[in-house]
Amino acid sequence: MTDSAPVLDVRGLTVDYGGRPAVEDFALTIAPGEIVGLTGDSGSGKSTLAFALLGLTRGPGRIKGGSVVLEGTDLLALDEPSRRERRGRDIGLIVQNPRGALSPLHRVGQQIGAAYRSHQAVTGAQAAAHAVDMLRSLGLNDPERRASAYPHEISGGMAQRVLIAMALGSGPRLLVADEPTSGLDVTIQAQFLDEMWRTVRKVGSSALLMTQDLGIIANYCDRVVVLQNGRQVEDAPTRSFYAAPRDSYSRSILALRKEEALADATPSRLLEIEGLRKIFPLRGSNKHVQAVDDVSFSIGRGETVGLVGESGSGKTTVGRCILRLVEPDAGEITFGGASVTSASPAALRRLRRKLQVVFQDPFDSLDPRWTVTDILAEAIDGKSDKARIAELLRLVGLRPDVADAKPRALSAGSQQRVNIARAIAVEPELIVLDEPTSALTPLARIAIIRLLRDIQARLGVSYLFISHDLNTVEHMSHRVAVMYLGQIVELGTREQVFRSPVHPYSKALLGAHLVADPSRRRVDRTDIQTLSGEIPSPIDLPRGCYLASRCPVALPLCRDQPQPLVPAPDGRLVRCTPAIASLKQVMH
Amino acid sequence: MSEVLELADTGAVNVAKPAPSFLFRLGGVLVALSLVLMVMGPWITPYDPNRPTFEISEPPPALTEIPGLLWKVITGAPHDPIHWFGTDSSGLDVFSRVVAAPRTDVAIAVGANVVSLILGSLLGLLAGFARPWVAGTVMRISDLIQAFPVFITGMILVTLAGRSNMTIVLTLAFLYTPIYVRLTRAEVLSQRNRGFVDAARVLGKPEGFIALRHVLPNALAPSLIQASVTIGFAILMTAGLSFVGAGVRPPTPEWGLMIAASANELIQGEWWSSLFPGLAISLTVFGYAAFGNGVERIYDR
* Residues A251 and A305 grouped into a single domain: no
pLDDT above 90 coverage of chain A, percent: 21
Confidence of residue A298 (pLDDT cuts 50, 70, 90): very high
B80 is a domain residue: no
* Segment A297-306 mean pLDDT: 92
Give the pLDDT of residue A423: 93
- CA-based nearest distance A452→chain B, Å: 13
Instruction: Please report the pLDDT score of residue A461 as a whole number.
Output: 93
Classify residue B76: in a domain, yes or no. no
* Interchain contact B12–A (C-beta under 8 A): yes
Q: What is the pLDDT of residue A538?
A: 74
- Overall domain count for chain A: 2
Show Cβ contacts of residue B148 under 8 Å, excluding neighbours closer than 6 positions: none
pTM reported for the whole predicted model: 0.82
Per the domain annotation, does B133 fall within a domain?
A: yes
Are the Cβ atoms of A366 and B198 closer than 8 angstroms? no
- Does residue A86 sit in the same domain as residue A122? yes
A527 has a pLDDT exceeding 50: yes
A457 or A189: which carries more pLDDT confidence? A457
Provide the pairing of β-strand A61-70 with A8-17. Answer: antiparallel
Residues A273 and A251 in one domain: no
Domain range enclosing A343: 269-354+426-502
- Please indicate, yes or no, whether residues A227 and A275 belong to a single structural domain of this protein: no
Question: Mean pLDDT of residues grouped by 10 in chain B (301 residues)?
Answer: 42 56 89 90 82 79 80 75 78 85 88 94 91 90 91 90 89 93 92 90 88 90 87 87 84 86 82 88 90 78 47
- Residue A64: DSSP 8-state: E
CB contact under 8 A, A352 and B5: no
- Categorize the per-residue pLDDT at A74 as very low, low, confident or very high, splitting at 50, 70 and 90: confident
Residue A161 sits in the same domain as residue A300: no
Does the pLDDT value for residue A540 go beyond 80?
no
For residues A444 and A248, give the distance between their C-alpha atoms in angstroms, rounded to a whole number. Answer: 14
Question: What pLDDT was estimated at residue B4?
Answer: 39
Tell which wins on pLDDT, A250 or A294.
A294
Across chain B, what does the average pLDDT equal?
Answer: 84
Question: What pLDDT is attached to residue A112?
Answer: 87
In a domain, A397, yes or no: no
Please tell me which residue, B2 or A106, carries the higher pLDDT value. Answer: A106
The per-residue pLDDT for A258 is 60
What is the arithmetic mean of pLDDT over A107-131? 86
B16 contacts chain A (CB < 8 A): no
Residue B6 lies inside a defined structural domain of this protein: no
- The model's pLDDT over A400-440, given as tens digits with 9 standing for 90+, comes to 888 888 898 888 889 999 999 999 998 899 999 999 988 88
Report the distance separating Cα A202 and Cα A252, nearest Å: 35
Chain B interface test: which of A251, A252, A372 (most B C-beta within 10 Å): A252
Co-location of A288 and A242 in the same domain: no
Report CA A77 to chain centroid distance, whole Å: 39
State which of A149-153, A348-352, A495-499 shows the largest mean pLDDT.
A495-499
Question: What pLDDT sits at residue B301?
Answer: 47
Residues of A in contact with B200 (CB under 8 A): 378
Task: Indicate whether A441 pLDDT > 90.
Answer: no
Q: Of the residues A467, A502, A537, which one is the last residue of a structural domain?
A: A502
CB atoms within 10 A of CB A221: 25
**What's the number of domains chain B is made of?**
1
Q: Would residue A444 count as lying in a domain?
A: yes
Q: Residue A198: which residues within 8 A CB-CB, separation 6 or more?
A: none
Residue A207 has pLDDT above 50, yes or no: yes
How close B13 comes to chain A (CA, Å)? Answer: 5
Q: Is residue B70 part of a domain?
A: no
Task: Answer yes or no: do A236 and A278 share one domain.
Answer: no
Please state, in angstroms and rounded to a whole number, the distance separating the CA atoms of residues B280 and B260: 15
pLDDT tens digit sequence for B198-250:
999 888 888 889 999 899 988 888 898 888 888 888 888 888 888 888 888 87
- Chain A contact present for B300, CB below 8 A: no
Least confident piece of the model among A20-34, A39-53, A242-256, A267-281: A242-256
Task: Report whether pLDDT(A520) > 90.
Answer: no
Contact A345, B208 (CB under 8 A): no
Residues A179 and A306 placed together within one structural domain of the fold:
no
Task: Decide if B82 is inside a domain.
Answer: no
Judge if A150 and A285 occupy the same domain: no
A1 pLDDT band, cuts 50/70/90, is very low
CB contacts, 8 Å: A380 with chain B: none
CATH number assigned to the domain comprising residue A150: 3.40.50.300
pLDDT above 50: residue A2: no
Tell me which of A477, A502, A527 is where a domain ends.
A502
Q: Are residues A205 and A285 in the same domain?
A: no
Residue of A323, A367, A446 with shortest CB distance to B196: A367
User: Residue B206's closest chain A neighbor by CA?
Assistant: A349
Interchain contact, A248 vs B4, CB within 8 Å: no
Which of B15, B194, B199 lies nearest to residue A409, judging by beta carbons? Answer: B15
Q: What is the pLDDT of residue B8?
A: 44
Residue A568 lies in a domain: no
Secondary structure (DSSP) of chain B = -HHHHHHS--SB---PPPPPPHHHHHHHHHHHHHHHHHHHGGGS-SS-TTS--S--SPPPPPGGGHHHHHHHHHHT-------TT-B-TT--BHHHHHHHTHHHHHHHHHHHHHHHHHHHHHHHHHHHHS-HHHHHHHHHHHHHHHHS-HHHHHHHHHHHH-S-HHHHHHHHHHHHHHHHHHHHHHHHHHHTTSHHHHHHHHTT--HHHIIIIIIHHHH-HHHHHHHHHHHHHHHHHHHHHHHTTSSSPTTS--HHHHHHHHHHHHHTT--HHHHHHHHHHHHHHHHHHHHHHHHHHHHH-
Distances (CA, A) of B113 to B108, B141, B176, B212, B224: 8, 19, 7, 20, 10
What's the mean pLDDT in A243-250?
Answer: 81
Residue B110: give its domain's CATH number.
1.10.3720.10
